[in-house]
Amino acid sequence: MRRVFTIAAVLMLLGCFALCAFAAEDAMLAGVDGALVAVSFRGDTDAAAPNSLKAIEAAFNLGADWVSVSVQKTDDGAFVLLEDAPLPHQLDTDRSAAADCELAELQTLHYRNANGTVSDEPVATLEQALALAAGKGGLILDNAWAFRDEINALIGSRSVAVPVCLRTLDSAKKALQWQRDSGTKLYVLPVYKGNVVFNAIAHWNCLSAAKQPLAQFQSKNYFNVFYQKFTDKHFGTTFATAALAPMYDPDLCGQRSDDAVGWDDLISRGFSAIETGNIRGLAAYIAQCAAEREALAALRWPGDYPELSDYSDASAARYLEAKTAADEAFLNGRASLSQLQDAESALRTAPRQLVPAGEKDTQKGSFNLTGGKIAVIVIFGALLLGFDVFVYKKKKKT
């Protein structure tokens, strides 16, 4: 019976290792081309007040591809950049809501900075934001889905096209149906918040097939299905659509931090668009990725490759494995900084590990204990445990 308890303890330990291995592996949507997409939440709020024109312009100047802003409708039918929150929290006023004010009144008021102080930035209209974004990037509109037909009419009348996404909690199918029925030029950005892999796949397939620029996935759960590698095989590689992770709120990205550590984790897992409240930091991170890619390029084309026939088969195979991994990381424009650094390190080390033909190759291939391998061990152990229990009970009866 002691053997039964020993096997059970080993299985429990391996099961814990399996969970860790599955959680740590890289995940979905990584491709072989494309580029990381930077989304600035409410603009560069280190430079100016959230939702202000100055913050939006500063974010685009830092390299943001999109800026997400919040839209509210005034009493006289204009659209202004304000949150769905009490006005005193956002402006120098004691009025309660934008819907109770006319545009002329709101434009005499000023935004509050992120620290609560009053700025010199007046309330901006959606039309002003569209004019500012022309030729610079796109806008993601929050709290605008209820006004989608009116906003469609407003944007459709403009001569200068600006990419605009309407974020919504409606399903992808409903959002795309409205897009088709209205004949709009607007994109839709429905949000998937569930934890069912097949529903996540359907969400992705709908949006990528319709060539929407972004597909958003969000969860408070660190181990949500769309953060795990086993979903990777279900998601195609397309560069018309980027998987968006909202990271300005930890409750929306599995409690990850809105910094280089959090971004790198989710980019390594396959997300290719990051929505951040720290656009300056994200711009610096993307610049680091570009510099690392240049360093990797220099190693990939050294000018003279080693003649692998002069080396042992095993060491030549290790070199080619490192070279292939470096090629994949380099060609994946959406690779994370850590992925690029790991590829560079492996490729830099590989030539020194080549063993001349005829000499003893003391380096052995590494055995990677992946989640899949651990799962096989656990299943085998469970069968062995079951057999031992069966034999023990049979002996006890006799």
CATH assignment at residue 43: 3.20.20.190
Q: Which residues contact 106 (CB under 8 A, 6 or more apart)?
A: 74, 80, 82, 91, 98, 123
pLDDT of residue 12: 52
Q: Specify the amino acid at residue 153.
A: A
Give Cα separations from 310 to 301, 307, 349 (angstroms).
Answer: 20, 6, 18
Q: Which pLDDT score is estimated for 385?
A: 77
Are 9 and 77 contained in the same domain?
A: no
* End-to-end Cα spacing for the chain: 16
Residue pair 57/133 in contact (Cβ under 8 Å)? The answer is no
Q: Which is it for strands 79-81 and 110-112: parallel, antiparallel or unpaired?
A: unpaired
Q: Which residues pair with 373 in a beta bridge?
A: none
Question: What's the whole-number mean pLDDT along residues 226-242?
Answer: 65
Task: Give a yes or no: residue 331 inside a domain.
Answer: no
pLDDT band at 144 (very low <50, low <70, confident <90, very high): very high
The pLDDT value recorded for residue 316 is 86
| Domain match, 238 and 385 both | no
Question: What are 30-88's pLDDT values in tens digits?
Answer: 223 468 999 999 999 999 999 999 999 999 999 999 999 999 999 999 999 999 999 99
Question: Measured between alpha carbons, how far is 47 from 40 in angstroms, rounded to an integer?
Answer: 13
pTM of the predicted model over 0.75: yes
Q: Domain span at residue 206?
A: 28-289
Between CA 74 and CA 212 the distance in angstroms is 29
Q: Under a CB-based contact definition with an 8 Å cutoff, are residues 118 and 112 in contact? A: yes
Are 108 and 46 in a shared domain? yes
Residue 322: pLDDT band with limits 50, 70, 90? confident
Residues 109 and 181 both lie in one domain: yes
pLDDT for 237 beyond 60: no
Task: With respect to residue 176, please indicate whether it lies within any of the assigned structural domains.
Answer: yes
Mean per-residue pLDDT over the chain, rounded:
85
In angstroms, the CA 155 to CA 372 distance is: 50
Residues 120, 251: one domain?
Answer: yes
Residues 7, 47 within the same domain: no
Q: Are 206 and 172 in contact (CB under 8 A)?
A: yes
Residues whose CB falls within 8 Å of the CB of residue 194, separated by 6 or more in sequence, listed in order: 200
Tokens of 184: 């709009």
Share of the chain above pLDDT 70, in %: 81
Say yes or no to pLDDT of 110 above 90.
yes
Q: Which pLDDT score is estimated for 238? A: 57
On whether residue 100 sits in a domain, the answer given is yes
Final residue in a domain of this structure, among 256, 289, 322: 289
| Residue from 241, 213, 285, 299 nearest 31 by CA | 241
Rounded distance between C-alpha atoms, residue 101 and residue 45, angstroms: 25
**Number of domains comprising the chain:** 2
Beta carbons of 43 and 114 less than 8 angstroms apart = no
Tokens of 166: 């309407």
Residue 167 predicted with pLDDT over 90 = yes
Decide if 363 is inside a domain: no
